[in-house]
Structure 1
Amino acid sequence: MKFKVSHSQDTVKGELKITGSKSESNRLLIIESLFKNLQISNLSNSDDTQVMKKALTSNEVEVDIHHAGTAMRFLTAYFSVQEGRETVLTGSQRMQERPIQLLVEALRSMGAEISYEKNEGYPPIRIKGKKLQANSVSLQANISSQYISALMLIGASLPQGLTINLEGQVTSTPYILMTLEMLQRSGIQGSFEENTIRIEACSELSPKTIPVESDWSSASYFYSIAALAEEAEIKLSNYREESLQGDSCLATIYKQFGVETNFDENSITLKKSKCSKPASITEDLRNSPDIAQTIAVTCLGLGTACKLTGLHTLKIKETDRLVALKNEIEKLGGEVVISNDHLELKPSATLNKNVAIATYNDHRMAMAFAPIALKIPVIIEDAMVVSKSYPDFYNDLETLKFIVEKD
């Protein structure tokens, strides 16, 4: 289904409640399934979290997680420690093209029994759950942080806990720290010093309720809207100034575009009252790669050149996001150069109207490009792909007086 998105006003105002972070939600669901006694409030309503919940309660041999990359990584580790259970973990065609070998090798080194059903190094995989006795594992530090988090989440369930030795420069540190904080909030002890992560063994948790902060990646689209509007005042809940999410760096990055973030007790208000269009910006996004698409489109809409680095993990997401960004930005009139880990944008003075933006089965492509409707009408193909992380996205756009025409 295609949606045509447009906006006819200079000022954007409104209040929105954003769904809970799927990153926090999915970590807590694994912890709750391993140890019980947890109650989770403000759980994400995203497809990825619904898939995770279903997988954790499934009694079937085959568990299909569709497009949910986080679920694939976390569940690979989770099912490895489910003693006596055999599971075939599979997903969409794109998921079967996304590598899992480094995590599988790490788990095998700990004694896990995992085999490939089709292609070596890729899902689907067959996992024979067993009691793992290993108390340490080593792996490269510059891989997806989801591999590292997957091991951290099962660490406390092992008889001696788990020490994870990271080799080289760590990528996406905030996500590792988020996992550690989620474990600690649940009552599990752990530490992360230099390149060593230590998770202490735990047999039982005390009952408690843990609230999930709203998703900062989802907030990024409203930062983009505020930046592209002439004036804006958008209130978003539930957010904290001391956030665990790496994408909370948005508050600093978007100051360059004239967007101020005011923190209240349980919300943020984005305000823009003056036009701010820097000629160019440079950002290292190694710790927050999921907001690269949003920033690139913001810059395109403002006529701002940008260089975004630290993007090597984008090539193994729902699509190759660097290639996808290049393709779609150039349809709108921009000029993009990409490499394995960076993107450079030279924007056009004028934008092409009513362009159909392909979304490549990637929720973030749809949501990153929608805000440019403040400048020119745009058509989003396969528009409901947003349900992967943010099912209410278009309803929230309409609250902010965007016109969303469904075809």
Structure 2
Amino acid sequence: MKLHLSAPSQTLIKSTVKITGSKSESNRLLLLQALFPSIKIDNLSNSDDAEVMQKGLQVSNGVVDIHHAGTAMRFLTAYFASQENKDVTLTGSKRMTERPIKVLVEALRILGADISYLKDEGYPPIAIKGKKLTKHKVSLPADISSQYISALLLIAPSLENGIELELVGKITSVPYIKMTLGLLSQIGVVSSFNGNTIKVSPKETVEPTTQVVESDWSSASYFYGIAALCEIGTEISLSAYSKNSLQGDSVLKEIYKDFGVETSFQGHEVTLKKIGAPNNSTFNFDLANAPDIAQTIAVTCLGLGVGCHMTGLHTLKIKETDRLEALKTELTKLGASISVTDKTLTLEVSKEIKKEIAIDTYNDHRMAMAFAPLALKTTLFVNDAEVVSKSYPDFWEDLKNLKFKVQTI
């Protein structure tokens, strides 16, 4: 599906949007629910990733195809490895077979898991024969994707001796680790995170509980981008959000102050209000703890005619696509001057944006949604726009409700 996007006739927006539950929280809670069926979940994400996770957890034997869902690949690898009498093959899309899984597999093998590679060493597809894991001490590099770490922490309470995990080096993506530990705490699991060591105690049963999934701050980022590019006085309210969120991407409320967007909370609703212009011509951001919002920020900066230098982006190269190279390609098409390394992005100040450019999305939901706010500054096309279903299936309808012109080509 190819879309043509253009701005609302009125760029002073006053609107409210209800955003689906966080994909990150949903997938963590789905795994915990599989281990402890007394858990009920409200406001579950309606994303493709959450749906794939749900289906995968119901399989006992055979092939589990998780398509593009990287979180599901990592979480299900740990889950099936720890489940006696389950015998599965985990596979996915072509891109998924290029995304490394070796660090997690090796850690699980140390704990006693039976996992083998079916094609290339270190990559899916993998064959897993579930076993009772009794060993509990393992170490991982600290600068890898937090999903490897969270996968181990999530199965830890179901293991006979829990887990003692040592992280070697400088830890990145700490908020995602803390999100996992926070969810474990909410169901009564005891854990500690001191220095570079995380301990999770075993727990046989969980009292009946209903866990409410907060809406996705990553999805909120696109509305921050819209607010930043709209007229002063624009107000967009989003639900349902918590002021004290477990999600690392909630740092948006601080970052977008620099772009003239003020954030306020009332109950479970957050309101974004455009109150002024950017407070600088060039910005520096360390996104080691929130790399998923890098695409949104880069596009916002282009739209505002300001520059930025972003660091801490090393995990973006192994996402749905190499997001740094994809950003460089698509922003350059729009007229930007941009350079990237394996962990940084630098965008120069640019005053002109080319029109009627077709944005390629690379099977990456965030590429489609991050560029959409730029329709406030130029008309553009979005190729393979249906990719948003991975995390936010209602995105284009929500844009229409904000009076964006969204036309299928």
Q: TM-score interval w.r.t. the shorter chain?
A: over 0.9
CA drift of 1:146 comes to 0.3
Q: Equivalent pairs: percent with the same residue?
A: 60
From 249, 252, 256, the equivalent of 2:251 is: 249
Paired amino acid for 2:6: S
RMSD between aligned alpha carbons? Answer: 0.8
Partner of 1:256, secondary structure, is: coil
CA contact (8 A) 1:230 1:275 kept: no
Match of 1:6 in 2: 6
State the distance in 2 between where 1:59 and 1:165 align: 31
Moved more, 288-297 or 81-90: 81-90
1:370 maps onto 2:375 in alignment: no
CA contact (8 A) 1:277 1:303 kept: no
Match of 2:103 in 1: 102
CA contact (8 A) 2:36 2:205 kept: yes
Partner of 2:13, secondary structure, is: strand
State the distance in 2 between where 1:184 and 1:277 align: 39
Match of 1:40 in 2: 41
1:92 maps onto 2:60 in alignment: no
CA contact (8 A) 1:277 1:302 kept: no
State the distance in 1 between where 2:37 and 2:381 align: 45
Moved more, 345-354 or 169-178: 345-354
State the distance in 2 between where 1:240 and 1:147 align: 26
Moved over 4 A (4+): none
Match of 1:299 in 2: 301
Output aligned runs, 1:7-26, within 5 Å: 7=7, 8-26=9-27
Match of 1:401 in 2: 403
> So what's the TM-score if we normalise by structure 2?
0.98
Match of 2:175 in 1: 174
Match of 1:226 in 2: 227
Per-residue CA deviation, residues 133-169 of structure 1 (Å, 9 max, x unaligned), is 1011111111110000000001111111111011111
1:261 maps onto 2:255 in alignment: no
CA contact (8 A) 2:61 2:86 kept: no
Cα distance change, pair 379–347 in 1 and its aligned pair in 2 (3 A): farther
| Gap runs ≥5 in structure 1 | none
| Gap runs ≥5 in structure 2 | none
Output aligned runs, 1:62-73, within 5 Å: 62-73=63-74
From 320, 334, 337, the equivalent of 1:335 is: 337
Match of 1:158 in 2: 159
Moved more, 51-60 or 132-141: 51-60
State the distance in 2 between where 1:205 and 1:10 align: 50
Cα distance change, pair 132–60 in 1 and its aligned pair in 2 (3 A): closer
Match of 1:325 in 2: 327
Partner of 1:62, secondary structure, is: strand
1:383 maps onto 2:385 in alignment: yes
State the distance in 2 between where 1:392 and 1:59 align: 32
State the distance in 1 between where 2:64 and 2:73 align: 10
State the distance in 1 between where 2:59 and 2:225 align: 39
Moved more, 340-349 or 254-263: 340-349
Paired amino acid for 2:344: H
CA drift of 1:277 comes to 5.7
State the distance in 2 between where 1:60 and 1:399 align: 44
CA contact (8 A) 2:61 2:87 kept: no
1:115 maps onto 2:122 in alignment: no
CA drift of 1:70 comes to 0.2
Output aligned runs, 1:162-241, within 5 Å: 162-231=163-232, 232-241=234-243
Match of 2:318 in 1: 316
CA contact (8 A) 2:306 2:350 kept: no
Q: How many residues align?
A: 407
Partner of 1:271, secondary structure, is: strand
Match of 1:129 in 2: 130
State the distance in 2 between where 1:169 and 1:88 align: 33
CA drift of 1:58 comes to 2.3
CA contact (8 A) 1:141 1:167 kept: yes
State the distance in 1 between where 2:298 and 2:143 align: 24
CA contact (8 A) 1:190 1:198 kept: yes
State the distance in 2 between where 1:10 and 1:162 align: 52
CA drift of 1:60 comes to 4.2
Match of 2:59 in 1: 58
State the distance in 2 between where 1:196 and 1:3 align: 48
Moved more, 384-393 or 181-190: 181-190
CA contact (8 A) 1:277 1:304 kept: no
Per-residue CA deviation, residues 359-407 of structure 1 (Å, 9 max, x unaligned), is 0000000000000000011100000100000000001101111000011
State the distance in 2 between where 1:349 and 1:100 align: 42
State the distance in 1 between where 2:158 and 2:39 align: 15
> So what's the TM-score if we normalise by structure 1?
0.99
Paired amino acid for 1:107: L
CA drift of 1:35 comes to 1.4
CA drift of 1:12 comes to 1.6
